[in-house]
């Protein structure tokens, strides 16, 4: 705040003094005028009258100014006006000596005028007095003392006024500053202390008691000395001595002091040596209570230490970079991974520095390229403010080890939310990635042979088909199936079979160029993809057959395995991998049908056959709904007397599109499509219903049996037993009169599931027959475990009985086996009386075939039953 302009001792007091003196002066002048009026004729003159009026006006103005305290109305112009009027009055009063009055005026005006105005007024008054005195007849010699007296008194008055003014301003400023300091000292939380050189307190503000608990009186009067912490006392006292002994010095100290209540507080002390300053003559201390700050700092240190521990104990590599891409923070995992001993050693490095440090000889990209990509990612994070997460990058380590990393990057904001860098979290996922790659490899490769599996084949075939069409190049598939490999497993065990598969896969791979793709399709099937033409593919197929057919020797066991190969070439009709696989598979099956160990090419004829089968498959799916299926019954004859002992149910399909279709043609299609399951259960319902009706109608034929064929797919159904049981219960037929016929192939498909279903059926009372015995590949040991009751001899052996020594001996062995196992025997395909005689000699129980009867309708079969018909057993 600016100090106001003050004249004299005090503004108000200055006005009072001046006004009082001026009133007395003007009163004396007025009295002089009155005297002059009575003593001379001056009062009669206009000049005398004017002087009286002027003095009266001056007197009135002084009275008004005396009682009017607003100086803004009467400023220096009033004083000048008064001085001018007074000079005029003195001129009028020529009969008297003017100098004493001028000297008095010269001594008054400097007290109320500014310095420059007062000097000018004094000079004018001195000059005016000199000339007035000269006009009144005084000599120069008489006037000079008065002149100098007027000037000297006026100028001394000016100096006096200036000195008083300066002193007053200084005192006023000092007083103001003191009040301000006291106000600050009272309200501040800082402690201000002034001591002498012996550290005795001369001044202390109230904050002292607020901070340390001791009052000033307790410290000064009772000589209380607050206790310093033992860890800080020596150092703090050394600094105090340094402050005292070093002029103009400044010291800084942080130390602990015991509060009056007993707890410790932290103080931050700044000391200033001002012993040289006469006004202070002491040591000045500014002390701040920093207990809360130290506690916050300690808490921050603890949190920082905790955060550092969390960072360093975290196995992930954690780091932070500034907006220039330089590392600022890193944990131990990151430091160790990149070969640094400390965070300080890493701080300031860039991604390029690290890439150059760890670059390996296998790196496909240079460190500069990798660093540029990292920098691009960092800029993207900082500019977008969005994190980059779950990045998986691959690189080669110092020892050329293939490594994978999972990294995420986040924008790093300051306290105002502005992005100032990037925070990165990186984990070494090499082990996990290797596991994933291993799992992926295992998912795409056969575990036994290490060849690509069916899934890998389909993926590769998709790509190969697209490439072939784009490049207009050939693509050929070879589908290989090992002949009779099931018997190898059954005879020598699955471990032996696995060894054979491993060796065969190696032979196939070795026999083909490296450009060809070899996969294990499943079981004993292999698929080869090649860009060769059909002629070249045929040559390769012959090479494969030759390599596979070479003898295999394991554990002194020698086997020779052969293979059937189907070849199909990609054409416009192949829309998916399944289409090409289907055609190659069809060609392979044709090779098996034509004698095995050969190669067949998928051609127009085979395509027509395949197309017909596909259409028949579609039609067969609706055959049940459209009632296109029917049944026939072939008698089973007792060879001892020719009587009918039962029937075998045979299926017939009368298709509107294809006419009457043989079971040998549509049953394999039903097996492939899965329709054999519902068709088989329908046939079983028809058979049981018909048998139940005959048993009810002809009680004397209570021993009549019904045989029903069961497919492999039916036996593999977990619900097969419950379905058979429900059909038997709903039809009311006696379970012992029902025979279920199964082939060797179906019985061997899944031994565990088959054995479970057959055992439950056996407990239910159903009789089981093994159909087409001798054409499959079941072992005698497994046959002994099957809970069968009947052994059916295939017509292929019955046809040559009596005329073919081999067939005759095979049947004789079968009869011996059946008698050993206590099984009933049934011969299929009996067509001559000679065959009947030979079968009777060998002990065969039953026979069936066209010699006795072709398959009959239900009505025709019922006619045989009701007449108790007996078929002749010898040629009449």
* Plot region of 871 (φ>0 → left; ψ -120 to 50 → alpha; else → beta): beta
pLDDT at 105: 54
> Residue range 802-807: average pLDDT?
82
Report in angstroms the alpha-carbon separations of 301 from 253, 296, 320, 343, 459. Answer: 21, 8, 20, 17, 58
* pLDDT band (50, 70, 90) for residue 690: very high
In sequence order, the β-bridge partners of residue 392 are 406
What is the homologous superfamily of the domain 629-866 according to CATH? EAL domain (3.20.20.450)
**445-602 with 629-866: one CATH topology?**
no
More confident of the two residues 381 and 869: 381
> What's the whole-model pTM score?
0.47
More confident of the two residues 674 and 187: 674
The domain made up of 188-296 has a fold known as Beta-Lactamase (3.30.450)
pLDDT at 64: 55
Structural tokens at position 296: 């916050």
Task: Give the tens place of pLDDT for each residue, 369-400.
Answer: 888 888 899 999 999 989 998 888 776 555 54
Most confidently modeled of 359-368, 521-530, 695-704? 521-530
In sequence order, the β-bridge partners of residue 634 are 648
Task: Give the tens place of pLDDT for each residue, 675-688.
Answer: 889 999 999 999 99
Say if residues 96 and 89 touch (Cβ distance below 8 Å).
no
Mean of pLDDT over the chain: 80
Residue 326 is given by DSSP the state B
> Residue range 199-220: average pLDDT?
82
**pLDDT at position 225 over 80:** no
Task: Give the tens place of pLDDT for each residue, 407-446.
Answer: 999 999 988 888 889 999 988 888 888 888 888 888 899 9
What is the homologous superfamily of the domain 314-435 according to CATH? PAS domain (3.30.450.20)
Q: Where are the domains of the chain?
A: 11-170, 188-296, 314-435, 445-602, 629-866
**pLDDT at position 563 over 70:** yes
* Nearest in space to 871 (alpha carbons), one of 532, 641, 681, 574: 641
Please provide the CATH number assigned to the domain covering 445-602. Answer: 3.30.70.270
* Percentage of the chain exceeding pLDDT 90: 30
* pLDDT band (50, 70, 90) for residue 34: low
> Residue range 643-657: average pLDDT?
91
* pLDDT band (50, 70, 90) for residue 204: confident
> Residue range 630-646: average pLDDT?
92
Between 86-90, 757-761, 868-872, the lowest mean confidence (pLDDT) is in 86-90
Say if residues 640 and 848 touch (Cβ distance below 8 Å).
no
Whether the CA torsion 355, 357, 363, 365 is positive or negative: it is positive
In sequence order, the β-bridge partners of residue 633 are 649, 856
* pLDDT band (50, 70, 90) for residue 73: very low
More confident of the two residues 546 and 154: 546
In sequence order, the β-bridge partners of residue 769 are 741, 790
* pLDDT band (50, 70, 90) for residue 808: confident
pLDDT at 171: 74
> Residue range 235-245: average pLDDT?
90
* Percentage of the chain exceeding pLDDT 70: 76
**pLDDT at position 758 over 60:** yes
More confident of the two residues 98 and 488: 488
Burial class of residue 738 (count of CB atoms within 10 Å of its CB; 0-12, 13-18, 19+): buried
> Residue range 541-566: average pLDDT?
91
> Residue range 292-312: average pLDDT?
88
* pLDDT band (50, 70, 90) for residue 518: very high
Say if residues 512 and 518 touch (Cβ distance below 8 Å).
yes
* Nearest in space to 718 (alpha carbons), one of 746, 754, 745, 690: 754
* pLDDT band (50, 70, 90) for residue 709: very high
| Cβ contacts of 413 within 8 Å, gap of 6 or more | 419, 420
């Amino acid at each position: 705040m600016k100090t106001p302009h003050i004249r004299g001792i005090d503004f108000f007091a200055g006005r009072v003094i001046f006004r009082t003196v001026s009133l007395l002066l003007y009163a004396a002048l007025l009295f002089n005028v009155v005297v002059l009026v009575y003593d001379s004729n001056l009062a009669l003159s206009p000049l005398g009258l004017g002087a009286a009026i002027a003095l009266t006006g001056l007197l009135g103005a002084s009275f008004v100014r005396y009682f009017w305290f607003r100086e803004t109305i009467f400023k220096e112009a009033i004083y000048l006006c008064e001085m001018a009027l007074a000079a005029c009055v003195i001129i009028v009063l020529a009969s008297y000596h003017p100098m004493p009055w001028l000297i008095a005026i010269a001594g008054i005006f400097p007290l109320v005028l500014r310095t420059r105005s007062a000097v000018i007024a004094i000079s004018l008054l001195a000059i005016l007095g000199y000339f007035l005195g000269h006009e009144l007849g005084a000599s120069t010699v008489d006037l000079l003392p008065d002149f100098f007296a007027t000037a000297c008194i006026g100028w001394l008055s000016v100096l006096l006024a200036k000195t008083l003014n300066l002193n007053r301003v200084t005192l006023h400023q000092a007083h103001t500053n003191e009040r301000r300091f006291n106000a600050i000292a009272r309200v501040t939380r800082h402690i201000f202390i002034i001591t002498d050189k012996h550290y005795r307190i001369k001044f202390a503000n109230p904050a002292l008691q607020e901070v340390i608990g001791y009052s000033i009186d307790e410290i000064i009067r009772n000589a209380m000395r607050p206790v310093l912490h033992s860890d800080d006392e020596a150092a703090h006292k050394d600094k105090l001595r340094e402050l005292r002994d070093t002029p103009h010095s400044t010291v800084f100290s942080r130390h602990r002091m015991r509060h009056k209540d007993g707890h410790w507080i932290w103080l931050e002390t700044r000391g200033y040596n001002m012993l040289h300053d006469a006004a202070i003559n002491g040591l000045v201390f500014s002390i701040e209570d920093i207990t809360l700050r130290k506690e916050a700092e300690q808490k921050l240190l603890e949190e920082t230490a905790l955060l550092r521990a969390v960072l360093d104990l975290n196995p992930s590599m954690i780091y932070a970079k500034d907006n220039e891409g330089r590392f600022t923070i890193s944990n131990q995992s990151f430091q160790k991974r990149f070969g640094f001993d400390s965070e300080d050693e890493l701080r300031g490095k860039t991604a390029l520095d690290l890439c150059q440090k760890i670059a390996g000889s296998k790196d496909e990209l240079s460190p500069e390229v990798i660093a540029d990509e990292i920098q691009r990612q960092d800029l993207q994070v900082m500019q977008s403010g969005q994190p980059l997460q779950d990045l998986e990058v691959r690189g080669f380590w110092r020892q050329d080890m293939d490594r994978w990393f999972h990294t995420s990057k986040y924008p790093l904001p300051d306290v105002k939310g502005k992005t100032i860098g990037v925070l990165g979290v990186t984990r070494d996922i090499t082990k996990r990635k290797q596991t994933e790659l291993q799992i992926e490899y295992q998912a795409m490769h056969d575990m036994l042979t290490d060849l690509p599996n069916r899934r890998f084949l389909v993926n590769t075939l998709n790509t190969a088909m697209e490439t072939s069409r784009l490049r207009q190049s050939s693509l050929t598939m070879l589908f290989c199936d090992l002949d009779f490999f099931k018997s190898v497993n059954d005879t020598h065990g699955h471990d032996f079979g696995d060894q054979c598969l491993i060796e065969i896969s190696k032979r196939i791979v070795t026999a083909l160029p490296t450009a060809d793709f070899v996969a294990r399709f499943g079981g004993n099937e292999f698929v080869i993809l090649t860009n060769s033409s059909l002629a070249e593919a045929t040559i390769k197929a012959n090479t494969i057959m030759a390599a596979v057919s070479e003898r295999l020797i394991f554990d002194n066991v020698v086997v020779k395995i052969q293979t059937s190969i189907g070849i199909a070439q990609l054409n416009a009709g192949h829309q998916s991998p399944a289409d090409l696989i289907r055609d190659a598979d069809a060609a392979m099956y044709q090779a098996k049908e034509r004698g095995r160990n050969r190669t067949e090419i998928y051609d127009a004829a085979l395509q027509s056959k395949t197309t017909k089968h596909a259409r028949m498959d579609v039609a067969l799916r609706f055959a049940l709904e459209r009632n296109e299926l029917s049944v026939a019954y072939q008698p089973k004859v007792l060879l001892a007397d020719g009587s009918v002992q039962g029937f075998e149910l045979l299926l017939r399909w009368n298709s509107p599109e294809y006419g009457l279709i043989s079971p040998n043609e549509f049953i394999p299609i039903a097996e492939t499509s899965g329709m054999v399951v519902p068709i088989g259960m329908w046939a079983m319902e028809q058979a049981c219903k018909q048998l139940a009706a005959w048993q009810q109608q002809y009680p004397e034929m209570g021993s009549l049996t019904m045989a029903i064929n069961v497919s492999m797919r039916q036996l593999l159904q977990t619900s097969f037993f419950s379905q058979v049981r429900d059909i038997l219960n709903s039809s009311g037929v006696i379970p012992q009169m029902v025979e279920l016929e199964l082939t060797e192939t179906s019985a061997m498909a899944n031994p565990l599931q088959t054995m479970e279903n057959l055992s439950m059926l056996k407990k239910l009372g159903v009789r089981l027959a093994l159909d087409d015995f001798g054409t499959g590949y079941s072992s005698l040991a497994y046959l002994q475990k099957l809970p069968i009751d009947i052994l059916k001899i295939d017509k292929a052996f019955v046809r040559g009985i009596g005329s073919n020594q081999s067939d005759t001996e095979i049947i004789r062995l079968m009869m011996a086996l059946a008698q050993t196992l206590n099984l009933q025997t049934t011969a299929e395909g009996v067509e001559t009386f000679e065959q009947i005689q030979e079968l009777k000699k060998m002990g065969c129980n039953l026979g069936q075939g066209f010699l006795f009867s072709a398959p009959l309708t239900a009505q025709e079969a019922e006619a045989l039953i009701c007449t108790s018909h007996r078929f002749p057993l010898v040629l009449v």
